[in-house]
Amino acid sequence: MADIVHRSSRTVKQDPEVVHERLLELGKRLKRELPAIPAGSQAATLLGTSGSLGLEIDDKGADRIELRTTKGRIRGEGSVDIEAAGRGKTTVSMVATVKPHGFGAGVMMSAALASRPSIQKDIVKGLERGFDDLAKELAKPDHEWDAASWTPPGLPD
């Protein structure tokens, strides 16, 4: 089973150092506020874990931030590359990966995708919608920026 990998880029009207700092703020908030997976839920069955997903954030410097989950049979990984685009703009490039961890998880993910081919399309659609909203948030002027107020679309406030 191959991983589900999605790549996307946006250009935002904001300086690269501001984008980097804001992404780190949002990552720290995500780590603090990421809801636990309820035991016995459909998500717990799919992911093979309940409770924390073990989110790690790795600041690789001014031009890259990585995130990954460390628990469960289906894990997520993401990276964001930050590149100056001139004139106070920044290109933000994201790679998001959903990957099975182990043979059994690969078989399970293959079966799920075969029985419901729209799953991958739904994941990509959700990532794109979230990235569109994130780009708008990152571009806000300083007086409008508030890391605590942004919630990605599709998640409960």
Residues pairing with 146 in the sheet: none
Question: 105-138, pLDDT tens digit by residue?
Answer: 898 888 888 888 898 899 899 999 999 999 999 9
Question: 72-94, pLDDT tens digit by residue?
Answer: 999 999 999 999 999 999 999 99
Confidence check: pLDDT of 157 > 70: no
16-20, 38-42, 108-112: least confident range: 108-112
Domains of the chain: 4-140 (3.30.530)
Confidence check: pLDDT of 1 > 90: no
Question: 59-76, pLDDT tens digit by residue?
Answer: 999 999 999 999 999 999
C-beta of residue 74 within 8 angstroms of C-beta of residue 59? no
Confidence check: pLDDT of 53 > 80: yes
Q: Quick one: pLDDT at residue 113?
A: 85
What is the number of H-type helices and E-type strands within the chain? Answer: 4, 5
